[in-house]
Amino acid sequence: MLMTSDRERRCRKAASVTCLAVLLCAFTHAAENPAKRNDGKNAEVRKEVLALLKRSTRDNKSFAEAKKRIAALGAPAEKPLISRLAAKDPKERANAVTFLAAIASKKSIPYFLAKKRDKSHEVRIAALEALQSFKDPELIDKIAEAYLADEHPSVRDMAVIVLGSFKHEKAVPHLVKALDDTDEYARECARKGLESFSGVKTDEKKPEAEQNKAWKAWFAEWKKSKEETEKNEKGKDAIRKTESKSTSGNVNEEHRETLRKGRKR
């Protein structure tokens, strides 16, 4: 009976170890599966993104549909798009820039600014359009620095258009600078941008040189007025701080007087 009992215990113990091993194996397999599933999904996304890049042409309806699809894919599409920013085909690079902008992630902004060095002016224009889509005034100076002095007139034209679209005071000095651009259309876009910001209309009956001179005179007055307003605001802030300290001092004095009266009682 004792031997049988010992044998049974050993069998039960062996069975328990076997069950534990099976459970551990199942747990490990379950833990590995999500990663494998993600890898498979990422591979599918990459394949779809690359296919969209190659077959999309900007002058047809499928391009807009492709942008919507990329936007729907979201973050998983970013990595394959970034990898194609250095593709040999400039059209593919331009598409990669536009599709990356469709995801609307601010992490992509440095890539668009870096495209100022791209050999293709079409890619640089696509990068400007991408930066415009963020509608962030903090990008104005960076856009002007990267693209306003571009060697290609079409890129400078787009840079001026983008700066004017912000309708922000940060863009004003850059638009005034563009009034001296060697490209006629860039100068025209600069005047339109200044009109949009200021609400002042260009007197188109006058020669262009006089129009630009008038806008520079307007800029000088605007800048002077802005500086005076800022100076007055600083003065008001200083007065408010002084009054605040004075009020605080009076309150403390009243508090101290109340304590003195309390001690006398």
Domain boundaries along the sequence of the chain: 44-134, 139-246
Residue 223: CA atoms inside 13 Å, Cβ hemisphere, count?
11
Could you name the CATH architecture of 139-246? Alpha Horseshoe (1.25)
At residue 21, the pLDDT reads 56
| Measured distance between the N- and C-terminal CA atoms of the chain, rounded to whole angstroms | 98
Do you know the residue count of the chain? 265
CA-CA distance, 84 to 96, in Å (whole number)? Answer: 6
Averages of pLDDT over each 10 residues, the chain, 265 residues: 58 57 55 56 89 82 90 94 95 95 96 98 98 97 98 98 97 98 98 97 96 97 93 77 64 60 56
Q: At what angle do helices 61-73 and 2-55 cross, to 10 degrees?
A: 150
Domain 44-134 part of CATH 1.25.10.10: yes
At residue 2, the pLDDT reads 45
Q: Find out whether 111 and 105 touch, Cβ atoms under 8 Å.
A: no
CA-CA distance, 203 to 247, in Å (whole number)? Answer: 54
Is it true that 44-134 and 139-246 share their CATH fold?
Answer: yes
Q: Find out whether 77 and 108 touch, Cβ atoms under 8 Å.
A: no
Question: Which structure tokens are listed for 215?
Answer: 């806008």
At residue 32, the pLDDT reads 52
